[in-house]
Amino acid sequence: MASQRGEGETTTTPLEPADRERARAIPEAAVARLAVYLRVLSGMADQGVTAVSSEELSQAAGVNAAKLRKDLSYIGSYGTRGVGYDVEVLVSHIERILGLTRNHSVAVVGIGNLGHALANYGGFPGRGFPVTALFDVDADLVGIPVGGIPVNHIDEITAVCREREVSIGVIATPPPAAQSVCDRLVSAGVQCILNFAPVVLQVPDNVEVRKVDLAVEMQILSFHVARRADEAVHNSSGGVSVGNNGLGVDGMVIRP
Amino acid sequence: MASQRGEGETTTTPLEPADRERARAIPEAAVARLAVYLRVLSGMADQGVTAVSSEELSQAAGVNAAKLRKDLSYIGSYGTRGVGYDVEVLVSHIERILGLTRNHSVAVVGIGNLGHALANYGGFPGRGFPVTALFDVDADLVGIPVGGIPVNHIDEITAVCREREVSIGVIATPPPAAQSVCDRLVSAGVQCILNFAPVVLQVPDNVEVRKVDLAVEMQILSFHVARRADEAVHNSSGGVSVGNNGLGVDGMVIRP
DNA sequence: CCGACTTTGTGCATGCGTTCACAAGCGGTA
DNA sequence: TACCGCTTGTGAACGCATGCACAAAGTCGG
Ligand SMILES: NC(=O)c1ccc[n+]([C@@H]2O[C@H](COP(=O)([O-])OP(=O)(O)OC[C@H]3O[C@@H](n4cnc5c(N)ncnc54)[C@H](O)[C@@H]3O)[C@@H](O)[C@H]2O)c1
Ligand SMILES: NC(=O)c1ccc[n+]([C@@H]2O[C@H](COP(=O)([O-])OP(=O)(O)OC[C@H]3O[C@@H](n4cnc5c(N)ncnc54)[C@H](O)[C@@H]3O)[C@@H](O)[C@H]2O)c1
pLDDT tens digits, one per residue of B42-51: 999 999 999 9
Do A191 and A208 share a structural domain? yes
CA of B237 to the centre of ligand 1 (A): 38
Q: Average pLDDT of chain B?
A: 84
What is the pLDDT at residue A243? 28
* CB pair distance less than 8 Å for B214 and A254: no
Q: Is residue B239 part of a domain?
A: no
What is the pLDDT at residue B18? 55
Q: Is residue B230 part of a domain?
A: no
Do B92 and B30 share a structural domain? yes
pLDDT for residue A71 is more than 90: yes
Give the largest CA-CA distance in chain A. Answer: 69
Residue of A255 and B82 predicted with greater confidence: B82
pLDDT for residue A202 is more than 80: yes
What would the pLDDT profile of B131-144 be if each residue is shown by its tens digit?
Answer: 999 999 999 999 99
pLDDT for residue A2 is more than 90: no
pLDDT for residue B164 is more than 80: yes
What is the pLDDT at residue A74? 95
What is the pLDDT at residue B46? 94
What is the pLDDT at residue B20? 54
Residue A241, burial from CB neighbour count under 10 angstroms (0-12, 13-18, 19+): exposed
Span A81-89, average pLDDT = 96
What is the pLDDT at residue B229? 77
Q: Is residue A255 part of a domain?
A: no
What is the pLDDT at residue B199? 96
pLDDT for residue A181 is more than 90: yes
Of A203, A196, A107, the closest CA to residue B217 belongs to A196
What is the pLDDT at residue A124? 80
Residue A180 structural domain: 106-214
Span A162-172, average pLDDT = 97
Do B93 and B111 share a structural domain? no
What would the pLDDT profile of A95-112 be if each residue is shown by its tens digit?
Answer: 999 999 999 999 999 999
Quote the minimal CA–CA distance from B49 to chain A in Å: 18
What is the pLDDT at residue B122? 85
CB of B250 within 8 Å of a chain A CB? The answer is yes
What is the pLDDT at residue A234? 66
CB of A176 within 8 Å of a chain B CB? The answer is no
pLDDT for residue B254 is more than 90: no
The domain boundary, picked from B97, B125, B145, lies at B97
How many whole angstroms separate alpha carbon A54 and alpha carbon A225?
Answer: 33
- B53, closest nucleotide (Cα–C1'): C7
pLDDT band at B22 (very low <50, low <70, confident <90, very high): low
Residue A51, burial from CB neighbour count under 10 angstroms (0-12, 13-18, 19+): middle
Residue of A40 and A247 predicted with greater confidence: A40
Do B87 and B26 share a structural domain? yes
The domain boundary, picked from B97, B129, B151, lies at B97
For B117, residues 6+ apart whose C-beta sits below 8 A from its C-beta are A113, A114, A116, A117
AA letter at A52 = V
Give the three-class secondary structure for B94: helix
Q: Using the atom order of ligand 1, give the atom closest to the CA of residue A114.
A: 16
Per-residue CA distances from B248 to B53, B64, B220, B252 (Å): 22, 12, 12, 7
What is the pLDDT at residue B23? 58
The domain boundary, picked from A30, A64, A97, lies at A97
For B111, residues 6+ apart whose C-beta sits below 8 A from its C-beta are B119, B134, B135, B136, B138, B141, B146, B151, B172
What is the pLDDT at residue A18? 55
What is the pLDDT at residue A19? 57
Q: Is residue B232 part of a domain?
A: no
Q: Which helix (H) or strand (E) holds A40?
A: helix A28-46
What would the pLDDT profile of B193-234 be if each residue is shown by its tens digit?
Answer: 999 999 999 999 899 999 999 999 999 999 998 887 777 676
For B223, residues 6+ apart whose C-beta sits below 8 A from its C-beta are A23, A26, A31, A97, A98, A99
Do A52 and A138 share a structural domain? no
Percent of chain A with pLDDT over 70: 81
Do A148 and A167 share a structural domain? yes
Q: What is the dihedral of CA A39, B208, B114, B129, to 10 degrees?
A: 160
Quote the minimal CA–CA distance from B81 to chain A in Å: 27
The CATH number of residue B69's host domain is 1.10.10.10
Query: Which of B202, B247, B251 shows the shortest C-beta gap to A245?
Result: B202
CA of A212 to the centre of ligand 1 (A): 13
Q: Is residue B39 part of a domain?
A: yes
The CATH number of residue B194's host domain is 3.40.50.720
pLDDT for residue B124 is more than 90: no
pLDDT band at A20 (very low <50, low <70, confident <90, very high): low
How many whole angstroms separate alpha carbon A98 and alpha carbon A89?
Answer: 14
Residue of B162 and A18 predicted with greater confidence: B162
Do B206 and B134 share a structural domain? yes
pLDDT band at B17 (very low <50, low <70, confident <90, very high): low
CB of A144 within 8 Å of a chain B CB? The answer is no
What would the pLDDT profile of A208-232 be if each residue is shown by its tens digit?
Answer: 999 999 999 999 999 998 888 777 6
Give the three-class secondary structure for A106: strand
Do A118 and A43 share a structural domain? no
Do B144 and B45 share a structural domain? no
Span A81-92, average pLDDT = 96
What would the pLDDT profile of B100-119 be if each residue is shown by its tens digit?
Answer: 999 999 999 999 999 999 99
Angle between the N-to-C axes of helices B28-46 and B54-61, in degrees from 0 to 180, rounded to the nearest 10: 100
Residue nearest to nucleotide D7 (CA to C1'): A82
Q: Residues B128, B152: contact at Cβ < 8 Å?
A: no
Q: Is residue B6 part of a domain?
A: no
Do A204 and A160 share a structural domain? yes
Q: Is residue A116 part of a domain?
A: yes
pTM: 0.88
The spacing between the Cα labelled CA in B81 and the C1' in C6, in angstroms, equals 8
What is the pLDDT at residue B239? 33
Do B113 and B65 share a structural domain? no
DSSP code for A234? H
How many whole angstroms separate alpha carbon A202 and alpha carbon A11?
Answer: 30
Phi/psi at B7 (5° precision) = -100, -30
Q: Is residue A159 part of a domain?
A: yes
Do A111 and A208 share a structural domain? yes
What is the pLDDT at residue B201? 96
The count of domains in chain A is 2
Q: Average pLDDT of chain A?
A: 84
Query: How many pairs of residues across A and B have Cβ atoms under 8 Å apart?
Result: 298
